[in-house]
Amino acid sequence: MKIAMRLAVALSAATFLTACSGGESSENDTTDDKAEAFDRDPYPSTYTPYPSGAVLLQNATVYDGVGNVFENYDVLLEGGNIAGLGEDLDAGDDVEVIDASGKFVTPGIIDNHSHLGVYPSPGVSAHQDGNEISGPVTAEVWAEHGVWPQDPGFTRALAGGVTSMQILPGSANLFGGRGVTLKNVLSRTVQGMKFPDAPYTLKMACGENPKRVYGYGGGRFPGGAPYSRMGNVAGYRNSWIEAKAYREKWDAWEADGGDMPTRNLELDTLSGVLDGDILVHMHCYRADEMAQVIDMSEEFGYEVTSFHHAVESYKIADLLAEKNICSSMWADWWGFKMEAYDGIRENIPLVHHAGACAIVHSDSDIGIQRLNQEAAKALADGRRAGIEISDADAWTWLSANPAKSLGIFDQTGSLEIGKDADVVLWNGDPFSSYSNAERVYIDGALMFDLEQPDFTPVTDFELGQPGEGDLK
């Protein structure tokens, strides 16, 4: 009975949303001729928000995610959106009122660097779906085709207040493939998790990994290109040259007609970058390499949205600010390889202080569970070094900036009226080690409740196993 009802609700919601997004995409069709040539969204999102009633979180300390903090504030979630924000909001009829005094309300955390699903738990050999290591250029692969939606890691991230995330291919390749942005709502299918209308992204990688995997790989010497950082850059440039030629072929076909060019999945992705439709997220540790990549992006006319890991961003924070490129960073990882040797604990605050876009990312199924603490460490380390950043500003590292880097800031990433109600109620200061996410709402629907075991999701994998349904 319950199943039937859930299906019915999901179906009606799906119809509603399809109607909405249908309108949008037909609008796109008229402005983008290429959309007619082939379907650019062949694996569309089927995510629909779960049913929710109106909820008033009352009397909380609220970080709105765009730099403001409000004491004794109320946040109203209604119709899946942020419907009200203010002091002493009226709770209408049928509004569930939650006393949040002494508690904190923030936008949901967005991790723009996760491998959940593609490197899931358990980390057995059959689950290594995050890197198409077969060649240095695999822009043709899409992370969503490797995501296992039963990864228990999604549930742990949810308990850590993560409401959306980008799943990226790994960093073995120069071009690793497309990333996918998900709502952290478990589904039977990946499509059921895909963030509606989020742009595609492209994972690229600098430095040690590509040259180690290909140059020194396969037990041969040398393994093949790239063998050096020189080879890395030549590899990217050759691909961009091909992508430009491919794009010109399509442009000519659109202008003049004739035989439709043969499609190439790899170059579809790269030309999507050149068109500005696909956002580049590039694994790059060293400052000098980031500067090279910036020149390369200007050589070929595309933009880097965010450098990832970026442990040396502090050395060129001025350049990153000038070029408007984000840095997705850890608070304190360092030393596990040479390009991570100069990691410092003040990287994030130094980048922020220079006026560049700072993002706290995880790249870890453990780290994703406490990104708020990672921000807290960086914030405190910055202050000790004399860099004054407010708690409220620091929250931009966790929600707004990652949302911008994924092209979803219009929908989520801050507590502003009309945005998706992706909201976390924390049982204490979220910058404390002792605080936990008490309630997590996604599009207004309660998806996690620390106090109610029924609101702790259990993946298929964990059913019938030791610890099923345990507090994790």
Partner 1 sequence: MIFKFAAIAAFTSLAVSSALAQNLAIQNATLFDGETVREDATLVIRDGTVVAWADADQLPSGLETIDAEGAWVTPGIFSAFSQVGIVEVGAEDSTNDTSAGQSAFGAALDLSDGFNPRATSIDITRIEGVTRMAVAPSLGASLFGGQGFIATTTGEPGSVIERRAFTFINLGEGGASVSGGSRPAAWATLRAAFGDARAFPTRYLAHSEGDALGRMDAEAFTRAARGDQLMLIAVSRESDIREVISLKKTMSNLQIVLVGAQEGWMAAEELAEANIPVIIDPYDNLPSSFAQLGATQQNAARLIEAGVTTAFAHLDSSSHQARLVLQSAGNAVGSGVDHTDALRAITSVPAEIFGIDGAGRLTAGGLGDLVIWDGDPLEVASAPVRIFIDGVEQSLESRQTKLRDRYLAVDESERPMAYKR
Interacting residues with partner 1 (CB under 8 A): 121-124, 152-153, 156, 208, 314-315, 317-318, 332-338, 341-346, 350, 365-366, 369-370, 373, 376-377, 379-381, 384-386, 431-436, 461-462, 465-467, 470-472
**Minimal distance, residue 362 CB to partner 1, in Å:** 12
To the nearest 10°, report the CA torsion of 461, 466, 469, 470: -140
**Minimal distance, residue 212 CB to partner 1, in Å:** 8
Give Dmax over CA atoms of the chain in angstroms.
Answer: 73
Q: How far apart are CA 378 and CA 376, in angstroms?
A: 5
Q: How far apart are CA 231 and CA 224, in angstroms?
A: 10
Q: Is the peptide bond before 44 cis (omega within 30 degrees of 0)?
A: no
**Minimal distance, residue 153 CB to partner 1, in Å:** 6
Residues in CB range of 207: below 8 A, 6 or more apart: 229, 232, 283, 284, 285, 286, 289, 339
Between residues 156 and 249, which has the closer beta carbon with respect to partner 1?
Answer: 156
**Minimal distance, residue 386 CB to partner 1, in Å:** 7
Closest CA to 376 of 163, 82, 106: 106
- Mark out the alpha helices in 317-440 (DSSP H runs): 317-323, 347-353, 371-384, 391-394, 400-405
Between residues 195 and 285, which has the closer beta carbon with respect to partner 1?
Answer: 285
Between residues 201 and 459, which has the closer beta carbon with respect to partner 1?
Answer: 459
Q: How far apart are CA 69 and CA 355, in angstroms?
A: 20
Between residues 47 and 314, which has the closer beta carbon with respect to partner 1?
Answer: 314
**Minimal distance, residue 269 CB to partner 1, in Å:** 29
Between residues 12 and 433, which has the closer beta carbon with respect to partner 1?
Answer: 433
Query: Please, are residues 172 and 129 in contact by the beta-carbon 8 Å criterion?
Result: no
Q: How far apart are CA 26 and CA 30, in angstroms?
A: 7
**Minimal distance, residue 350 CB to partner 1, in Å:** 7
Q: How far apart are CA 272 and CA 278, in angstroms?
A: 5
Between residues 127 and 145, which has the closer beta carbon with respect to partner 1?
Answer: 127
CB atoms within 10 A of CB 444: 25
Between residues 234 and 344, which has the closer beta carbon with respect to partner 1?
Answer: 344
Alpha-carbon distances of 16 from 49, 139, 160, 225, rounded to whole Å: 11, 34, 31, 50
Supply 180's token pair: 């996918």
**Minimal distance, residue 131 CB to partner 1, in Å:** 16
Closest CA to 168 of 126, 119, 109: 119
The CA R_g of the chain, rounded to the nearest whole Å, is 22
Task: Report helix, strand and coil shares of the chain as percent, to nearest 5.
Answer: 35, 20, 45
Between residues 189 and 433, which has the closer beta carbon with respect to partner 1?
Answer: 433
**Minimal distance, residue 238 CB to partner 1, in Å:** 27
Strands 201-205 and 437-442 turn out to be unpaired
Between residues 202 and 354, which has the closer beta carbon with respect to partner 1?
Answer: 354
Supply 2's token pair: 């319950």
Between residues 153 and 176, which has the closer beta carbon with respect to partner 1?
Answer: 153
**Minimal distance, residue 149 CB to partner 1, in Å:** 16
- Mark out the alpha helices in 102-227 (DSSP H runs): 153-159, 208-210
**Minimal distance, residue 67 CB to partner 1, in Å:** 19
**Minimal distance, residue 317 CB to partner 1, in Å:** 8
**Minimal distance, residue 461 CB to partner 1, in Å:** 7
Between residues 181 and 373, which has the closer beta carbon with respect to partner 1?
Answer: 373
Strands 162-167 and 104-107 turn out to be unpaired
SS3 state at 417: coil
Q: How far apart are CA 366 and CA 302, in angstroms?
A: 33
Between residues 71 and 336, which has the closer beta carbon with respect to partner 1?
Answer: 336
